[in-house]
Amino acid sequence: MIKYQLLFALIVSLCLSGTVVAISNHDELIWDIWNNEEGEPFDNNQISCSSIEDLNTRELCYRNSGEVQSKEEGSFSLEKRKIKTSNVVHDIYNEAPISIQLEPGSRINYRYLINMSDPAAQQFYEVMVFITGNLCNFPQGLSDPNSYLSLYTAFNDTGIFTNSSDSPFYSQTYNQKDFQYGYLQSLSDTNVKTNDSFYLNIVLEADEIEDVNGTFTIQLGLSQDDLIYQWDNRTWINLVDTDDTTALFMTGNLTTTYNNATDILDSSSNYYTVHIFLDEDDNYFSNLNRSWCSIVNGNELVKQTNISYSFTQRGGGLKEQMYVKGLQPSTDYIAYVTQDFSSTQHGGVVFNRLQFSTQEPDTCKLVFNLTFCDNVAYSVPRSNNVQLDSNFQKLADLYDSNVKDMFGNFSKALQQIPCQAEDDQRYSPIVTCDDCATSYKNWLCAVSIPRCTTNNETEYKYRELNESRNDYINSKVDPPSPYYEILPCLSMCHAIVRDCPTDFGFACPRDNTSIGKSYWFMSDDSAYDTCNYVGALSTSGALPTIGMSRIGLFISFMVVSLVMF
């Protein structure tokens, strides 16, 4: 009996000191120790299984002793993951992402040397390591490849390399992180005060999978400064409009260090990159839509040589716009936007995807960057009188020059208003003649350059041949086919009433029947544009419906003649 007690004490001492008992002898050794000479079960009150540090020995302790496992420790699963362990440990360095080929049923070990000269480590003895991973590719036939991958981390604990993850205690002892939609991010932090080398140890595993071919391709990067790869739930770009073969996107407002925003407007560089895929690829990206490498290195439908990047202040604020050519008519697409980190050699941000569709062929043409109507950026009816070449400039000029000529008449009338008078002598103490000119210009562009689409929505007005908004479009533009017009927003009419002198007698239609002939209402709840708004949206909201008043100036007759068609 004494020899068994001595042997038992030796094993316990080895376990509590962190020494790993040979796994191959576990079952026989534990059973010999835990049976007395009469063959009765060993009294496990002499030691608690939960105190055994070696995970595999602890598991066998529970299985052979009959001790009940605590809820905090979880529960066993006798189904093994069949991971091939390895004692080889590779170094991984700060802000130097690596590409990994990982076979199903295998693991790979890494260690990351902590930079103790980091300011946080020096001042607060706090170490933080940002971990990011991307799933680039995976064995075909998996419904969710993310569920087969796990990453474990531990500071200065080499047991993470030698212990088997088959044990349920492995994930409780070491920090576990899984991939979601092809992306992994984690923060490992600890407080430490040492002059010795300090490591973050990492294990990356792939479960055993039967009857599949191929490997997991994974991108892994670590940094003590920030996440090398990032996922942003915003789409960050808006679809401005499409025609049958092109699309225009625009980002949200950008911040810039330039003293003058015009310094960057002519820049050929781009802050963001748009990637276009067929909508049928959505099934592939359903598991990888947050993965940097799967999107950047994906099978893009449109080459970057067919995408033009520029900057604009259209609608207020500095934005980047992307003009995509080479699309197919009546086709569904998905677009992803990525942003490279300019301050580092690697890494970037993936933004949420955007779905869009092109229009039917040979009806509308997307125009933007007009000289006079600089806030116009949408599809317009094509023209039988203009031969479209590689761009849309001739068609844009046909519309733009007409609006510029009409605005000249209004500009002369506005010069008769004492715009520079003192505040108490001006027509309004709140708005100025500049506000009036801007509102009128945007309104005039919207009602003179109809927004064209081939989509049939309740709010849109169908235009047969020779039944366009005005005679100029019927005769000079001469659309080749019928189209649907997205009517100007009624709030644009309200804006000129609000911002311009009452001497002009501007007024807007009041009843729905009159409104529906020329305008429509803006809806924030709609999945598509219910009306066409040109210019910067006002945050003050639309004014109440305004009654008709007597027309006192020539320019007022022009308002009515332009909109009541």
* 3-class DSSP string for 52-68: CCCHHHHHHHHHHHCCC
**Which two three-digit tokens encode residue 538?**
């006002």
Please check whether residue 274 is in contact with residue 335, taking contact to mean a CB–CB distance below 8 angstroms.
yes
Q: pLDDT of 237-255, one tens digit each?
A: 999 999 999 999 999 888 7
87 alpha-carbon distance from chain centroid: 39
Listed residue (330, 368, 158) closest to 248, CA to CA: 368
Side chain identity at residue 16, one-letter code: L
pLDDT tens, N- to C-terminus, the chain (565 residues): 444 444 444 344 444 444 333 333 443 434 343 343 343 444 444 566 666 655 555 555 655 554 544 434 443 332 334 566 677 999 999 989 999 999 999 999 999 998 877 665 556 578 899 999 999 999 988 889 999 999 999 998 888 888 877 776 677 788 899 999 999 999 998 887 766 788 999 999 999 998 888 999 999 999 998 999 999 999 999 999 999 999 999 998 887 655 555 666 666 578 899 999 998 887 778 899 999 999 999 888 899 999 999 999 888 888 999 999 999 999 999 999 999 886 566 789 999 999 999 999 999 999 999 999 999 999 999 999 998 776 789 999 999 999 999 999 999 999 988 887 777 778 888 889 999 999 999 999 999 999 999 999 999 999 999 999 999 999 999 999 999 999 999 999 999 999 999 989 999 999 888 898 899 999 988 889 999 999 875 433 222 222 223 223 333 334 433 444 4
Long-range contacts of 549-552 (CB under 8 A, 24+ apart): 549/502, 549/505, 549/507, 550/505, 551/505, 552/503, 552/504, 552/505
Name the strands in the sheet holding 98-102, side by side, starting at the edge strand that comes first in the sequence: 98-102, 216-223, 126-137, 183-191
Q: Coil, helix or strand for 216?
A: strand
Rounded Cα distance, 347 and 86, in Å: 29
Rounded Cα distance, 305 and 326, in Å: 10
Please check whether residue 259 is in contact with residue 163, taking contact to mean a CB–CB distance below 8 angstroms.
no
**Which two three-digit tokens encode residue 535?**
């210019």
Listed in sequence order, the DSSP H helices in 97-210 are 119-124, 159-162, 170-173
Rounded Cα distance, 330 and 463, in Å: 20
Side chain identity at residue 438, one-letter code: T
Count of CA atoms in the C-beta half-sphere (13 A) of 530: 13
Q: What are phi and psi of 395, to 5 degrees?
A: -65, -40
352 alpha-carbon distance from chain centroid: 3
User: CA separation (Å) from 56 to 14, 147, 168, 558?
Assistant: 13, 24, 9, 88
Listed residue (317, 327, 244, 316) closest to 279, CA to CA: 327
Q: pLDDT of 428-481, one tens digit each?
A: 888 899 999 999 999 999 999 999 999 999 999 999 999 999 999 999 999 999
